[in-house]
Chains A and B, each alone.
Chain A
Amino acid sequence: MLRQLEGSRAVAETVARCRPEVVCAYPISPQTHIIEAVGALVKSGALAPCEFINVESEFAAMSVSIGASATGARAYTATASQGLLFMIEAVYNAAGLGLPIVMTLANRAIGAPINIWNDHSDAMAVRDSGWIQLFAETNQEAADLHIQAFRLAEELSVPVMVCMDGFILTHAVEGIDAPDQAAVDAFLPPYEPRQVLDPNHPISIGAMVGPEAFEEVRYLSYLRQLDALERIPALAAEFATAFGRESGGLLRSYRTEDAETIVVALGSVLGTVKDAADARREAGERVGVVGITSFRPFPLDAVRDALSGARRVIVIEKAFSVGFGGVLSTDVAMATHDANLSLRTVIAGLGGRAITQRSLEALLADAAKDRLSPLTFLDLDHEIVERERSRMGATRRSGPSAENILRDLGTVASKIG
């Protein structure tokens, strides 16, 4: 039933209906509302049997999940930003051990400077960890992806991360259908582990593997990710028939049929991008949008096909590789290396900077005139940058840039949006 719900609440209810047996939590904005709500459902007995464990760090949160999953329990946790980085060793370990843990990542920037607002730096930091990473465009999709995530993870024995934009989605209230228990049960069978710690059938999990087999082990996990490329669309289709709506899949195209310019992006920004695209089409530009849901595994073929007709591809990223540029862009470039098109990277929305339709339209207008440089930083205040650079040039002890800039701006939070 459609209800006007906060994104975090919708995710929490949906996760609960996936019947996790162990949930552990360490609070970090903007993930808090999710685990608070799950915790309440466990305490009230609405979610049972389930052990809700308040741990002392994200590192412990993932470690507890590892132990629980290896013991045959369906395990769930959620984190963001610094929290993800603090648990990163365990994140890799969970994937290496092939434990189908599902984790919500409420995407948030990484400090310093410390910043609690949304971008995708955290997700990108664990891009190579062996987890499947699915990006939600809306809160509805965020909720739905969790159901598919448990199914996918347990089928393949691979952990899955559902990425949803911090605050923008987690704290947004909108009409969402949190699927009911019967429907979820029908879609998601009980967890049957590939390996389990059982005193009656003892095994040793987590052996040390040397050069003689390590590469094979890694290659096998690569093959599992390739399997995921098959399973993700299949599950999305199955989900669509079961729940009557499109959620998940590898990617989604919008008005790309005749598009000359295609914007590629991840997550919630796609909504604004679509509005901008519509506006530009009214101005006579043929603009389309491709939203990538499955960032890992990265659907090279699907992306290639989706972009095949375009002359320009603009990748809008909420993260970037300092010292290089786009992260998603390199993947898109790999997908389209033999296509004859110009690829532009736009870094936008870092640390919660609002990505406005106005800016996007201006950007597209420039692109239409081929005035877009290979790497663009949307709404970058060059004046501030220059001021700080000259300050740095002038005196060695010019102080921390972030504080200097805030002083220049005399800013307040409300202005940042």
Chain B
Amino acid sequence: MTTSPVRFYQVGSFAVGNRLLDDADRTVQSDPHRSNSLDSGHRACQGCGEALGARYALDAAMRATGGQLVAVNATGCLEVFSTPYPETSWRIAWLHSLFGNSAAVATGVAAALRAKGKSDVRVVSQAGDGGTVDIGFGCLSGMFERHDDVLFICYDNEAYMNTGVQRSGATPPAARTATTEAVGPEPGNVFGQGKDLPRLAMAHGIDYVATATVADLHDLEAKVERAMTFHGARYLHILVPCPLGWGSASSDTIKVARLAKETGLFPVFEAEHGKVTAVSPIRRRTPVEEYLSIQRRYGHLFGEHGRPDLVARIQEIADQNISTYGLVDEQPAVTEPSEVSA
């Protein structure tokens, strides 16, 4: 029998795939023929958020560019677990040079492609938070300032995981790392420090800046796709939980990322030419405790010797984000990702 078009669906609206959708409307990750840019056999830990984020982002970029993609990788976990001689997990053209120069190397790749007239080939540069906000920032800022045709992706796991979980410029307040131990009157990382890279990127006036988490694949893929419509410097900041460094269950990686967004601690938004153009509203507002208490890096905040005062300060940060970015929608969030004919 024939049926009329229906402007909704809910069966797993937020799931990776949905049998009620046309192929075109489905995520890249639901496609059995996805490029698997980062292939099996890599040496990432169980439940590695970075491995997931990298495959999500690069597969999306591969679809957006019809496979005409070159990736440059900074030193870090991703590089180490993906390419230990004699095996590589990459299925794409990939180059690793140094820790702090991936943005500049990508600039060189883009320049070479331009000189050779290969305008169809696009360049992605990827780094962890250390290779982005700290040691790599000089080159990154230069790449931004020149508006080089590079999409820079930061996989933010909020510390130097490759070297054994030391504090980075992206480590959040109160978080315990090997260099911000949970001792003393101000246990864990100091409040009021750290770089807000997305904001710094926006300050460069580059075409496109966005944040995302591995918990919302639809959002992440849409942003990569959007980023690829610009020719110029672009920045995508993806939160990728690290079970090892955060002390969360390997099975909770996506849950933790989801809570980071739902608590407001990690604002998910989009900005074009220096202006915020869209935010992903919080769907189920959650107190920060729920996020913090499932991570051992915050273990010192709870229990009998816990620090509710510090938890309260973290909640303030979340509330500040919520008001700054307007993360709590007055109208109910739009929950149907797209319409579908049944």
Contact = CB atoms under 8 A, between A and B. Distances in A.
Interface in A212-234: 212-213
A113 B200 CA distance: 36
Nearest to B91: A202
Contacts of A89: 98, 100
Nearest to B67: A199
Nearest to A97: B97
A68 B92 contact: no
B141 interface: yes
A63 B104 contact: yes
Contacts of A25: none
A67 B109 contact: yes
B93 A55 contact: no
Interface stretch (A203-211, A326-334, A399-407): A203-211
B96 interface: yes
Nearest to A195: B95
Contacts of A22: 108, 111-112, 115
Contacts, number: 163
Q: Which of B68, B69, B91, B114 has the most CB of A within 10 A?
A: B114
Interface string A48-63: 0111011111011001
Contacts of B72: 67
B134 to A, nearest CB: 14
A69 B113 CA distance: 11
A64 B115 CA distance: 13
A60 B142 CA distance: 8
Contacts of B83: 204, 206-208
Interface in B120-153: 121, 138-139, 141-142, 145-146
B90 A197 contact: no
Interface of B is mostly: mixed
A68 B139 contact: no
Nearest to A92: B98
A58 to B, nearest CB: 11
Interface in A65-92: 65-73, 75, 89-90
A49 B117 contact: yes
A66 B96 CA distance: 10
Interface residues of A, number: 44
B104 A64 contact: yes
A12 to B, nearest CB: 18
A56 B109 contact: no
B94 interface: yes
A173 B92 CA distance: 50
A209 B85 contact: yes
A308 interface: no
B164 interface: no
Interface of B: 67-70, 72-73, 79-80, 82-86, 88, 90-98, 100-101, 104-117, 121, 138-139, 141-142, 145-146
24 contacts: A22-B115, A55-B142, A56-B139, A56-B145, A57-B139, A60-B138, A64-B107, A67-B106, A68-B108, A68-B111, A68-B112, A71-B109, A89-B98, A97-B97, A198-B93, A199-B70, A201-B93, A202-B90, A204-B90, A206-B73, A206-B96, A207-B84, A208-B83, A209-B85
